[in-house]
Amino acid sequence: MNRVLIVYYSRSGATRALAAELAAKLGADMAAIKEPRSRIGVSGFLRSMLETVRGTLPPIEPPHVDLSAYALVLLGTPVWAGRAASPMRSFLRMTARSLPPTAYFCTYGGSGHDTAFQDMARRQGQRPLATLAVRRRELPPERHADALEAFLTRMAPARQRGAPVEAARHHRAHQE
């Protein structure tokens, strides 16, 4: 059984690229959050920003996976106006109580990754084991290699093969 799952939302493909890189490093399963409505083009961008500003939670098609089968779930999102993308916020609303220990990663253009992570933790009701924020211009792997290695190191106890979930929770409690 694979012990790590990556759940991500990506509008432009940047977060998907980082998710794929992480999956390759971790040997993790990947699951995309999908939506019934497209966000392509200017109208999709404007809808994204409007949802973010208003705090709207759009309908999503959550990944069909058994979250309890994983010791660790990585949640990936782009940052929109200083917040996690609205589809990720919808996913957290649906799954917060059933998520095992988590780590967060995001892609962003300007700023706001800290507030996005804080909002995700508040919605989930627990803090992540680790966070990774990568600017779009730093997406080539060689430009974020050190940050990625530090992220992987902070998650190591939870992703060790066969590590019980309780050990990961214990580790998180000592990280805070």
Residue 163 burial (10 A CB sphere; 0-12, 13-18, 19+): middle
**Is the separation of the CB atoms in 24 and 1 below 8 Å?**
no
The tens digit of pLDDT for each residue in 122-149 reads 999 999 999 999 999 999 999 999 999 9
The tens digit of pLDDT for each residue in 31-88 reads 999 987 777 788 777 776 778 788 888 889 878 899 999 999 999 999 988 899 999 9
Q: Which residues contact 82 (CB under 8 A, 6 or more apart)?
A: 111, 112, 115, 116
The number of angstroms, rounded, from the C-alpha of 18 to the middle of its chain's C-alpha atoms is 10
Angle among Cα 45, 51, 55 to the nearest 5 degrees reads 150
The answer, as to whether pTM is greater than 0.95, is no
Please name each of the domains of the chain with its CATH number. Answer: 4-175 (3.40.50.360)
Q: Which residues contact 125 (CB under 8 A, 6 or more apart)?
A: 96, 97
Q: Which residues contact 6 (CB under 8 A, 6 or more apart)?
A: 19, 22, 23, 26, 28, 29, 30, 31, 73, 74, 76
CA dist 48 to 42, 73, 116, 145, Å?
A: 10, 25, 15, 30
